[in-house]
Structure 1
Amino acid sequence: MKNIKHTLVSSLFLMGAAASGSVQAADWTGYTYSAVSTTAAVKGMERITDRVEAETDNLTITLHLGKTLQIASSDITQAVGDGFIDFAADLFFSGNVPIARILNLPLLIQNDEQWDKAYAAMTPYLEEGFAEQGVTFLGAYRYPQQVIFTSFEMDSLDDLENHKIRVTSPEQGAFVEAFGGSPITLSGSEVPTALERGVIDGVLTASAGGAKNWHEFLDYNYRLPVNYAYSAVIANTDAYESLNEADRETLATIVNEETSKITEAFLVDEQAQKESQADAGMTIIEPKPEDLAKAQEALASFWQEWAREAGPEHEQALQDVLKALGK
């Protein structure tokens, strides 16, 4: 009789909780592509998880660094959509959300102000693209501009001709080819040996990115803003929608604030690393205005061709971005 009474009380409690709309505590699994805990990106993700625990009613996130779970970098968005993980930062999402690559197109975006305008125009497309994967797009942070570092003397675009440049995307490859160079794809771990042996003559990266580790092999930095890389911060849609409204709003606010701080931290580090590399003997060359104009003119047809091949939605998104940029 005692057990029956206890069961009845428990059932009535659960029914009352459901009727009042209360939500059970959620313990999410979080993941980031980066395996280095000292980067601005990981520190920012850690701040997000700390703030979520302190500021939400029913949510905690346990963050795992890159390579600590059996998830390939290119599969993070899919893992979130499948519910294997609930929350992530994904730098390699373009295979799952191809329309997002518009923001990576070479010479389309040339400064921070232009980035903000282009990103605002692309946000609805990003939200829709991730939603198709069962994923909620919460925000993004970006890395500094990808610029040109070389072992050979370079002070104009014409100097790229007949040189082999390591790239990290087809879009960067299109830029190198437009000026007579040969794009080479290598993993980051292969770059130092490739530079030392002359397999490649330069790289596209940031001062606060690959140049941090490879600067001893790179004598020149031509700071033409080729393109940007950015990371999406995402959540499994079912998990996100199961949160109460207050926690959803709090999570969105936290992500918005902390992704802005991550971007700013990268920009601060970019300036510090550029100065440090110059002090160590690297020659830093700012691009001539005519080179910027020449590069944009050369790549404009590539933007249109890329979007046309990708389909009507991509063409419309590109036009929205170009309109936002006044181009």
Structure 2
Amino acid sequence: MIRVRPARRSVLKGIGALAIVTATGPRAFAGPIRWDFTIYYGPGHAYTRLYTRFAEEVGKRTNGELDITVRTAGEMPFSATEAVTVAGQGQVAMALGYQGFIAGTTKIAAMPGLPFLMRNREETLKGMEVLLPYVEAAVGRFGARVLMWNGENWPQNLYGRGTPMTKLEDLDNQSARGSSPEQSDVIRHFGGAPVTLTTPEVPEAMNRGVIDAVFTGAANITGSKWTEFLDWGYICDLHGAPEYTLVNAEMYDELPEDMRGILEATVAEIRPAMADALKAANDESLSTLREELEIVDASAEDIKRYESDFVGYWENWAKDAGPDGAEALARIRDALGK
């Protein structure tokens, strides 16, 4: 399991200011090890900048001997749903796998996306401490490993155009984008028609009237400039949105031992800093959306009702999430008191 230390700095400044540990000694290979890291965010997105800074920091600490290039959405011929397989097969060295997008290959990795199970930072951190070893085992079967994860500060909420929704029951007879099968099940549960779209596909679908609403994080809206076609938001914190930085296991194992140690040390220091940055980005974005959109906050009574509605769903879902699904869910519910 990945262990991290508490953050000590504000991130956007802190990542660049971390102490640099460099690789030393002669190498058996002729030049730098070059890795491609495919992500699903576009150029200029706040999250793209964070992952780029991580890659640059690894390069600095290894004196350029491990050269990671971040490839944004559209640069490589892979879908966001293929992250586990393209990393595991070595088509790229690294891939960013959003828990909802990779549910088709490693369903247990999508457990944080169960509706109203892990809703906020505290719940997600507790839940992921239990879940991460199960996810590592699942992606390991495909030849990948989890280098780090992020997303405890990225709650998913409902945004759309037209008449604002004030409760999830307002999804009745509406079409909405779900970025995961679980979000689609929520839409369906409340009478809506789910449409599965990756991030780059949303704007055209919204503008063409294919969908009326979308589940996503606030920072993704501002980062992707979706306020141009959205009118409202319904804040219910459906679930957190962990995304896994995956690395090809064989390529990782073939790194020189000291370089591998530098990579892990960089993760350990930067991961908390990235989490702080993601929280700051989400908080700032939600504040911006409150000024630009009509925002409705779910009542405590509605949240309690939603959670009660989905307990049975959690249990049925876990039965189909592999041999460890039910055990992982039971341990997470115990940790969360749910």
Measured against the shorter chain, the TM-score band is 0.7 to 0.9
Give 1:69 shift: 3.0
Residue 140 of structure 2 corresponds to residue 131 of structure 1:
yes
The answer to whether the 8 Å contact 1:165/1:201 transfers is yes
What TM-score results when the alignment is normalised by the length of structure 2?
0.81
Evaluate the alpha carbon distance shift between residue 193 and residue 113 of structure 1 in structure 2; reply closer, same or farther with a 3 A threshold. Answer: same
Aligned pairs, number: 306
Q: How does 1:220-299 map to 2 (within 5 A)?
A: 220-280=232-292, 282-299=293-310
Asked if structure 1 preserves the Cα contact closer than 8 Å seen for 2:108 and 2:322, the reply is no
**Aligned-CA RMSD value:** 2.5
Are residue 54 (structure 1) and residue 60 (structure 2) matched? yes
The 1:311/1:83 distance shift into structure 2, 3 A limit, reads closer
Shift of residue 198, structure 1, vs aligned partner: 4.4
Q: Which residue of the partner structure matches residue 19 of structure 2?
A: none
Alpha-carbon distance between aligned partners in 2 of 1:152 and 1:326, rounded to the nearest angstrom? 36
Distance 1:199 1:236, change over 3 A: closer
Pairing 1:184-223 to 2, within 5 Å after superposition: 184-188=195-199, 191-192=202-203, 194-196=205-207, 198-210=209-221, 213-223=225-235
What do residues 102-128 of structure 1 show as CA deviations (whole Å, max 9, x unaligned)? 111111111100010011111111111
| Of 75, 100, 115, the match for 2:82 | 75
**Which secondary structure does the structure 2 equivalent of 1:208 belong to?**
helix
CA distance in 2, matches of 1:184, 1:88: 24
Which residue type is aligned with residue 140 of structure 2? A
Q: CA shift at 1:229, angstroms?
A: 2.5
Which of 37, 43, 49 is matched with 1:43 structurally?
49
Structure 2 residue aligned with 1:29: 35
Letter paired with 1:163: Q
Alignment of 1:127-166 (within 5 A): 127-142=136-151, 144-150=154-160, 151-166=162-177
Larger Rg: 1
Structure 2 Cα separation of the partners of residues 174 and 126 of structure 1: 22
1:193 CA displacement: 5.1
Question: How far apart, CA to CA, are the structure 2 residues paired with 1:292 and 1:79?
Answer: 38
Partners of 2:106 and 2:197 lie apart in 1 by: 23
TM-score (norm 1): 0.83
Q: Percent identity?
A: 27
Q: Is the 8 A contact 2:83 2:97 kept in 1?
A: yes
Once the two structures are TM-superposed, the CA of residue 57 in structure 1 deviates from its matched residue by: 6.9
**In structure 1, how many angstroms separate the alpha carbons of the residues matched to 2:209 and 2:77?**
35
1:109 matched to 2:118? The reply is yes
The CA distance in 1 between the partners of 2:76 and 2:291, in whole Å, is 40
User: Secondary structure of 1:260's partner?
Assistant: helix
User: Do the aligned residues in 1 keep the contact of 2:218 with 2:282 (CA within 8 Å)?
Assistant: yes
Q: Relative to 1, partners in 2 of residues 1:98 and 1:187: Cα closer, same or farther, differing over 3 Å? A: closer
Which amino acid counterpart does residue 308 of structure 1 have in structure 2?
A: K
Residue 304 (structure 1) shift? 0.7
8 Å Cα contact 1:172/1:227 also seen in 2: no
How far residue 23 of structure 1 moved from its aligned partner, in angstroms, is: 5.5
- The 3 A distance-change label for structure 1 pair 197 and 236 is closer
Structure 1, unpaired ranges of 5+: 1-20
Post-superposition offset of 1:251: 0.9
